[in-house]
A = this chain, B = another copy of it.
Amino acid sequence: MTTMLEVAKRAGVSKATVSRVLSGNGYVSQETKDRVFQAIAESGYRPNLLARNLATKRTQTLGLVVTNTLYHGVYFSELLFNAARMTEEKGRQLILADGKHSAEEEREAIQYLLDMRCDAIIIYPRFLSVEEMDEIIDRHEQPIVVLNRRLRRNASHSVWSDHKASSQAAVSRLIEMGHREIAFITGSLDSPTGGERLSGYRAALAQHNIPLRDELVVEGRWTPASGAAAVSTLLTRQVAFSALVASNDDMAIGAIKQLHESNIAAPQAVSVIGFDDVAIAPFIVPSLSSVRIPVTEMIQETISRLIFMLDGGDFTFRQSFPGELILRGSVVPGPYA
C-alpha cells in the first residue's frame, strides 16, 4: 500500500504538506496542491484511517449495540436502516456490535466499541440493568445513549417510549368500545418491555374497575408461533374473550392465524392489537391493529443528542415518544370463544 510519505516524495514535498492538502488545514499554494493531487492520482494513494484516527484521537464512528434476539424482522431492519442513514448524514459511520444473548455478551460488545475508540455509543439493551448502564455512562468519557430504557441518573442519556402508557391506552380503547373480556399475550417477562406492556394492561383494567382474571393472560416469547400457541392455551382454558392484545405484532399475527384456524371471527375484527412492527404485517393482515413505536423519530433524537455531545451546536431535547395506536378493520363485539 502506498503511504503518504511516498506521495510526498513523488510530489517533491514533505509529508506535512500532503497532510495539509488532504485535510484542508493550513495554507498550501495552488501550485503544490496540484502537484500533490497529481501524485496521489498517479500512485493510487489511500489514507490509512487507523493511522489517522490514532493521531487525531477521533474515529468519526458511532457504535451501536443490539442483541441478536432483535435481529429478526422488520423492527430491527428499520432501526438499523435509520441509524445507518442518519449517522452518515452527520458524516460518520455506524459500527454494529452484536450483543448476542446475555448481559455478559452485551458488556463485551460495548467494550469492543470502546476499544475501537468509537466517538460515541448507542445501546439498545436487552439484558443489562438500568443501574449498570448508569454506571457505564458514568465511567466513560465517550457520550453514550441508551435506547428503550428510562435511566434514573443520566436521564438525558436515554431515549424511550412509555410502553406501559401505550399499552394502557390501547386496552382502555378496547374497553371503551365495549369489550370486557380482553385476553393478553405477554412477551418474555424477563424483558422490561414485556413487563411494562403487561402492567399497562393491568392498569387499564383497574382504571375501569374490571377485575383482573389470570386465566386471560398467557406468556409468549415474542414469536408468531408462541402467539399461536397462546391462543390454543386460551381456547383449552375454555375462557371467553371478545378482544385480544399481544405484546408485539409477531405474536398478534400468530394469534390471528390460530383464531382463524379455529374458525373464530377475530381476524376480521379490530380487536386484536399488537406492538412495534409496521411494514408488512398490516399489509398481509389488514385487520391487525397495532401500537406503532416511533423508531425513526427515536433514532433521530438519539443521534442528534450524541452529535450534540460531541460537536455541540443546536439541540432540541425531546422528552417523550408515545406509541401511536393504529386501529384497522371494524369492530366485532361478540365473544370469540
A residues adjacent to B (C-beta < 8 A): 1, 46-51, 53-54, 59, 68, 71-74, 76-78, 80-81, 84-85, 88, 93-98, 111-112, 114-117, 141, 224-225, 250, 253-254, 257, 279-280, 283-285
Contact = CB atoms under 8 A, between A and B. Distances in A.
A46 B96 contact: no
Contacts of A224: 280, 283-284
Given A50-B54, A224-B280, A96 B94 contact: yes
Contacts of A47: 115
A242 to B, nearest CB: 23
18 contacts: A48-B54, A48-B115, A51-B54, A68-B81, A68-B85, A72-B74, A73-B74, A73-B77, A74-B74, A76-B77, A77-B77, A88-B98, A93-B112, A95-B95, A95-B96, A254-B283, A284-B284, A284-B285
A116 B117 CA distance: 13
Copies of the protein in its oligomer: 2
A115 B3 CA distance: 12
Nearest first, the 7 A-B pairs at minimum CB distance are A71-B81, A50-B54, A49-B115, A84-B98, A224-B283, A284-B284, A49-B116
Main secondary structure of the interface of A (DSSP, over half): helix
A225 B286 CA distance: 13
Given A71-B84, A73-B74, A84-B98, 18 more contacts: A1-B141, A46-B111, A46-B115, A50-B50, A50-B117, A54-B54, A68-B84, A72-B77, A72-B78, A73-B279, A88-B98, A93-B97, A94-B96, A95-B95, A224-B284, A250-B280, A254-B283, A284-B285
Given A96-B96, A284-B284, A117 B49 contact: yes
A186 to B, nearest CB: 20
A68 B79 CA distance: 12
A77 B1 CA distance: 35
